[in-house]
A and B are shown apart, each in its own frame.
Chain A
């Protein structure tokens, strides 16, 4: 007889597991047991005080977007109060060009809802681009565009082939054409080519292009140019989690524990017990067995771990070989440093725009030449760090906006940059690179902000792909697990046969960062998996079927209300 018994056993305790457990508990009435290998839940929703005690550095997920948890805000009213809060800087994105010490600040929608302030800044480089920017912002705010966006994000692959989704796809083409944009040339273009087509000033081209690697997309990838519209639309929405990304994990944990879900940490799932057709439970590393009377779900495990815990023979050689050949080396292995500092960085470029220091996704680059980003992506695919001249770090300083990030009067800044894969270097090489990269970053950063020198540094957390291996589901150090190239995205992610969250075992389902959308801290992977489970089990009065909750419009409304709530709660 098993030692523990639940309706559903969830393998993994990261953000996908937490958010899926919330839906299974509230809308499927199931009693969940969560089993997490590490000592802390949340997975990528992680904030640590490693740079220096009292200084909070997000060691994994950092950038949030208002769409991320729209289902949770709709279906779990306590989520915000329990800590599921986002906020935005005065400038949500931007770039500083060392050669001219000029800068381009993209104002957040919190501070500049109509984007007129942003257009003013763009106009200093190109009036035409300023007009294009406002046109894009208006276009992407239309219901037609937002519906297609949410359709793609918040539905499993097989639902997206339904007629109503296809109709909305067609609807958005008309809106784009009416805005005078011909989408066809973007179809086969790389992001680098696409930004050159859309904008004329290199400064705006660089600033928008810079966001592709941040979304784990190579700037030379021919299949990603068509996403330019979406990427440009995201820049004013870039947000962070108030208090630190780990707060979101605690928000879910509080809701779940109050509603009967049980957590078991320091427990590694080694086997899902099944008879080839149905699963009866799981086995842990210490030999204990856990009964699952209804479901077993792997949430956060890599697709490779999924094959192991169920048994590769069950999946068959074709799926196994596809999984074994998944690429993970294009982009996504990142240096994620935190810097506990006395003063916040103050930039020479503040002469050009005094707000630039309060920018969240601030790109620092030698010049606006797009090849800096091109070479950074090239080096990343070869498992190298580029020369300092080709550094394109993104930096931010959450303590400027949210004082809880650092002790009174002090600050914490962070940077992100592409890096070698975790297995590209030996342990010794990694330990040396981690320290050398800190030296290089201070040298590079101080060219833009003279006060970012070593005497301003209290301590640095050199968090690298080598450290990300603490997450057993990210053996390559890639934050999205595997590349988000076109063959491994959407209905192909991680492989077509598993994209809809089912496995060959009837009551075993799977989700995580290896599934669509992938590489985000959003609720999408959990919500889409839950939709498949609920439809397979033919459960009634599910949230998306309730009056007033029709999708995608109810999610779009949540996004609008969220931004309003941020504007009113955290005064600019």
Chain B
């Protein structure tokens, strides 16, 4: 006898939690199934170095707190006491000669910093900032929280307006072209290009460059969660329970049960069975959902070929977390004291060539000779995360998963990890006065294989559940049959990072999938359409 629920959601990461939270609060009986003990997927806060040091071992930057409807719909701050910190200085690129290119929330302060390198670029930034903010608020933001239009319809809507036309033209350029046309100074170009590529955009790839305004706008809209990233998912987790939802954790799905073409439930490896009266929703990657759990025998050949053709990301992340006996002091802070309060630092690049050389090696599955990375000191902005007077550091480097010639297993080699850790710490030491063996109490590295081991959905260590490639984005993510959250199988839905609009902590797939389920099953929505979405529809952008 299997337990009965209205909906079964597989995967309690951010999107799975969002779907369950919206549906349970709409009176639906929802069961969440999670392979790990902790809910929240990449929203993890762990004590991996020493007592009283809290590390956000995966997701750190909250990119859509001002855009995603979930934050207001669930009263994160008032109901669940989940607050965010929005540091004034967002990104800093310190140069080897002791200066610093600083990107503030305040556009004029940013222009003043850029002007130290190029007054022309300062003016270009002011123009870009306002244009991209407009694109974000009027088109790209709203598009994240509605189902994607097919390409022809999207193009038609774009060309109906001047802003839309400008965005469409931008999309066809490569990130490299966009940045080099807009800016002249190598340091400014390096910062701009790196902030696109760090999140997985290929600098030479055209067709998805509508992501450039997103990343360069969000670059000054990063927030941190007080108490650590896990607090965000924990709030939704509690909301699901408070509204009658349930979860089974540390479970392994064996089959999504299909009865004459209709998804009816889920069977676990340990024999437990759960029945879904309305729908089964998977937030896993397409291989897991369709090849591992649905089974090719329930799918037609073309669809199976499409799923097998799904492209994984070409790069992953190699992170080092440090417990520091001091607060970081950057050499460039002697010139601009704000530098010690920056949320993020880009270290190791001062020219376009240094960025493209780095990524050419990555795309060739080689480790670049010279290290490039971002780093952050979350406890500087949220004192809870480290003891008084001490700090946590999060060093993050884009790296290949299938390392050549050694292969991915090389990421398990402890000596290789020691040299990688030392290399990243040395890079940080070049720009700071007090990062050394005395102040580093403990370090903890995670590698691409660690990411894949921890999160089974992140194949090849790809934290966005699949490449951002023009043939696999928007209406084509993961493919044209599933990008609107339904699938070829009745009562089987998908709603994870491998579905439009994509990965990162943006809540898009989960929110849109919850809306699709409410529409298809006649569930009265207690939440209202977001204001910016309503305006975008009125303007014909969406």
Contacts and interface: CB of A to CB of B under 8 A. Distances in A.
Nearest to B241: A257
Contact of A254 (B50, B247, B384): B247
Interface string B445-465: 010001111100000000000
B358 to A, nearest CB: 25
A49 B454 CA distance: 8
Nearest to A568: B271
A569 B270 contact: yes
Given A52-B453, A53-B446, 11 more contacts: A39-B231, A53-B450, A82-B246, A243-B250, A257-B241, A258-B244, A264-B81, A404-B35, A404-B251, A431-B442, A458-B414
B412 A244 contact: no
A53 B451 contact: yes
A54 interface: yes
A244 B227 contact: no
A247 B244 CA distance: 20
Interface string B339-378: 0000000000000000000000000000000000000000
A403 B227 contact: no
A55 B249 contact: no
17 contacts: A39-B54, A48-B46, A50-B46, A52-B450, A53-B446, A53-B454, A54-B452, A82-B246, A82-B248, A83-B250, A250-B249, A264-B81, A265-B227, A410-B453, A469-B51, A470-B47, A470-B51
A243, A342, A469: most-surrounded residue (chain B CB, <10 A) = A243
A457 B414 contact: yes
A570 B412 contact: no
A39 B412 contact: no
Interface string A249-279: 0100110011000011110000000000000
Interface in B27-60: 35, 37, 45-48, 50-52, 54, 57
Nearest to A403: B252
B249 to A, nearest CB: 6
Contacts of A454: 414
Interface in B225-276: 227-228, 230-231, 234, 238, 241-242, 244, 246-252, 270-271
Contacts of A242: 250
Given A54-B450, A263-B238, A454-B414, A49 B46 contact: yes
Interface string B294-338: 000000000000000000000000000000000000000000000
Contact of A258 (B37, B242, B249, B454): B242
Interface string A81-93: 1110000000000
Contacts of A47: 37
Interface string B43-80: 00111101110100100000000000000000000000
A31 interface: no
Contacts of A459: 414
A83 B270 CA distance: 13
A247 B454 contact: no
B248 A467 contact: no
Interface string A467-484: 101100000000000000
A246 B454 CA distance: 16
A441 to B, nearest CB: 16
A56 interface: yes
A407 interface: yes
Contact of A54 (B48, B238, B384, B454): B454
Contacts of A264: 81
B160 interface: no
B228, B412, B442, B453: most-surrounded residue (chain A CB, <10 A) = B453
B248 A83 contact: yes
B421 to A, nearest CB: 12
Interface residues of A, number: 43
A263 B242 CA distance: 12
Nearest to B47: A470
Interface of B: 35, 37, 45-48, 50-52, 54, 57, 81, 227-228, 230-231, 234, 238, 241-242, 244, 246-252, 270-271, 384, 412, 414, 441-442, 444, 446, 450-454
Given A254-B246, A254-B247, A56 B453 contact: no
B249 A243 contact: yes
B412 A458 contact: yes
A562 B128 CA distance: 66
Contacts of B271: 569
Contacts of A470: 47, 51-52
Contacts of A258: 241-242, 244, 246
Q: 4 shortest A-B CB distances, which residue pairs?
A: A243-B250, A54-B453, A470-B51, A53-B454
Interface in A54-89: 54-56, 81-83
Interface of A: 39, 47-50, 52-56, 81-83, 242-244, 246-247, 250, 253-254, 257-258, 263-266, 342, 403-404, 407, 410, 431, 454, 457-459, 466-467, 469-470, 569-570
B51 A257 contact: no
A243 B228 contact: no
Contact of B57 (A53, A466, A569): A53
A518 to B, nearest CB: 22
Contacts of B48: 48, 50
Contacts of A48: 46-48
Contacts of B228: 39
A338 B294 CA distance: 36
Contacts of B47: 48, 50, 470
A404 B252 contact: yes
A431 to B, nearest CB: 7
Nearest to A52: B450
Contacts of A54: 450, 452-454
Given A53-B454, A404-B250, A470-B52, A257 B230 contact: no
Contacts of A52: 450, 453
Contacts of B81: 264
Nearest to A56: B37
A53 B35 CA distance: 14
Nearest to B246: A254
Contact of A244 (B242, B248, B250, B252): B250
Given A48-B46, A254-B246, A258-B241, A39 B441 contact: no
B419 to A, nearest CB: 16
B272 to A, nearest CB: 8
Nearest to B39: A250
Contacts of A257: 238, 241-242
B112 to A, nearest CB: 37
Contacts of B446: 53
A250 B252 contact: no
A39 B227 contact: yes
Contacts of A410: 453
A54 B44 CA distance: 12
B300 to A, nearest CB: 29
Contact of A39 (B35, B45, B249, B444): B45
Contacts of A250: 37, 249
Nearest to B244: A258
Contacts of A431: 441-442
Nearest to B230: A39
Contacts of B46: 48-50
Nearest to A471: B51
A471 to B, nearest CB: 9
Nearest to B35: A404
B238 A244 contact: no
A247 B384 contact: no
B187 to A, nearest CB: 35
B453 A570 contact: no
A467 B50 CA distance: 7
Nearest to B234: A265
A549 to B, nearest CB: 26
A562 to B, nearest CB: 17
A243 B34 CA distance: 12
A39, A53, A242, A454: most-surrounded residue (chain B CB, <10 A) = A53
A454 B417 CA distance: 14
Contacts of B51: 466-467, 469-470
